Amino acid sequence: MNLTPSIPHRQHYSRAVNGSVSHIDTTRVSDARSAFCSCSTLSESAGSSSMLQFFIRMMSEGNAMVIHAYADDTVKSLHERIQSITGIPVFEQRLIYRGKQLRWEQSLAECSIQNDANLQLVGRMRSTDHPQAWQVVNDMVALICRLCRGEMDPDALKTIKGLMTSYLNTSPGADNNRADNNKASDYFQIFMSSSAPAVLIMLYMSPFKVLEFCKLLRRVACEDLLYLACRSTLGFLLENAGVLRGSENVKRLVFMQEIFPFVRELAKRLLAGLDLSMKSPSGVGLMLSDVRDFSAFLQPLRTAIGEKVASMGPISVPSDGKSHKHPLCSEEIEILHVIFCKLLQKMDDCLNEMEVMAVKEGDVVYSAWSQYLSILKELNNISKLYQGAELELWTVLRQ
């Protein structure tokens, strides 16, 4: 099949997955998206010269989104795409480039955005009367995020307390001046817009407490926004806290069984999203948050199962339907293999459809395609746990 050079062929995914094996366990979705763009060789000489590739970094997470857009696209359209990916409302976003906030009505060309530019996404500053307050809160959020990722800072808690004290002491009305009381609402909205409450909760809560809260919310509604936010927080904590490392077997077994329903739930969402990406690739069916959460929940499971594989070798999953006995979570291990097979088959369908669309539409690149690599990397990780699974994966990628 003859493809336009700027459209990713499935062998590009094969090389990207193969090239990331050495560091795949610590790769987040944002890194996978970046790797996709580097391996897909979006050649401007083969496509429109006005097509741009650039990065948007979220200050509170440290992750970068890879964006493809035309130079005449408006900043407002960019905000709308960010909302579809992150769920952050358009009116709560600010985009900063070269120290200046981008205006909605401007085009990317008017903002002088070029290939490989780095934009900063931050919460909207509701008032320009308190620049010092914004700086204090942003410094605190950045420090807490670094701590949650495992960075060490012996003075961190003292620093956070000092920043909080500084923020509160400089608030309007702190000196009981009634004239300033009506300004207090805007001032404290800075705290909310910077996601400060969320990161403070993340700092002081353990994965086990968040897990219990998630389980309660899950019984009510799996599509509730509070539940989805709580599930993402739990995934982040699981990925960074290493809660299953060094745990005794009984505790590890119980915890794996507790978090596995979230893996099954996210796998179903990915399968549905992949279906939508084939029917409407420009839509928002395949959510970045689902891909990221799936990766996060898988990491502790793979770590625990991988320790057994290291001593016993890859797991053999029987094809005759007989019960497979394994010292650790035999039922979950078998179900994870079923998830692997279903996602691999769906990815094969998606890659076939992508190649067909590449022939029909030429240089058009859809955002959903960049998330295919993230899913393939997780499948690559899972394949190392089961006999014959790696061969199945590479057979699909090398077709």
**3-state secondary structure string across 151-211:** CCCCCHHHHHHHHHHHHHHCCCCCCCCHHHHCCHHHHHHHHHHCCHHHHHHHHHCCHHHHH
Q: What is the mean pLDDT of the chain?
A: 74
The average pLDDT across 101-123 equals 88
CA separation for the pair 315, 90 (Å, rounded)? 47
Task: Say what the pLDDT of residue 136 is.
Answer: 86
Please tell me the number of Cα atoms within 13 Å of 97 on its side-chain side.
19
- Give the 3-state secondary structure percentages of the chain, helix then strand then coil, rounded to 5: 60, 10, 30
Q: Per the domain annotation, does 39 fall within a domain?
A: yes
**Using CB atoms within 10 A of its CB, is residue 372 exposed (0-12), middle (13-18) or buried (19+)?**
buried
Task: Say what the pLDDT of residue 349 is.
Answer: 93
With beta carbons less than 8 A apart as the criterion, state whether 95 and 119 touch. yes
Q: Amino acid letter at 345?
A: Q
Rg of the chain in Å (alpha carbons): 23
Q: Per the domain annotation, does 213 fall within a domain?
A: no
pLDDT(6) > 50: no
pLDDT(179) > 50: yes
User: Tens digits of per-residue pLDDT, 184-237?
Assistant: 777 777 777 767 777 777 666 667 667 777 887 787 777 777 788 888 888 887
With beta carbons less than 8 A apart as the criterion, state whether 160 and 144 touch. yes
When divided into structural domains, the chain yields a total of 1
Task: Say what the pLDDT of residue 5 is.
Answer: 39
CA separation for the pair 183, 179 (Å, rounded)? 8
Following CA atoms 388, 288, 50, 2 in sequence, which dihedral angle do they give, to the nearest 10 degrees?
A: 20
Q: Which of the four pLDDT bands, split at 50, 70 and 90, describes residue 25?
A: very low
The average pLDDT across 31-35 equals 37
Range of the domain at 258: 10-127+228-397
Q: Per the domain annotation, does 188 fall within a domain?
A: no
Please tell me the number of Cα atoms within 13 Å of 172 on its side-chain side.
16
With beta carbons less than 8 A apart as the criterion, state whether 36 and 20 touch. no
Q: Per the domain annotation, does 4 fall within a domain?
A: no
Q: Per the domain annotation, does 299 fall within a domain?
A: yes
Task: Say what the pLDDT of residue 158 is.
Answer: 84
Task: Say what the pLDDT of residue 142 is.
Answer: 75
pLDDT(268) > 80: yes
Higher pLDDT pick, 109 / 223: 109
pLDDT(102) > 80: yes
pTM: 0.53
The average pLDDT across 44-64 equals 64
Query: Which one, of 241, 355, 348, 354, lies nearest residue 300 by Cα?
Result: 241
CATH number at residue 43: 3.10.20.90
Task: Say what the pLDDT of residue 165 is.
Answer: 85
CA separation for the pair 35, 374 (Å, rounded)? 9
Q: Per the domain annotation, does 2 fall within a domain?
A: no
In 206-326, beta strands by DSSP E: none
Q: Per the domain annotation, does 74 fall within a domain?
A: yes
Q: Per the domain annotation, does 3 fall within a domain?
A: no
User: Tens digits of per-residue pLDDT, 287-343?
Assistant: 788 899 999 999 888 888 887 777 778 888 764 444 445 555 678 888 999 999 999
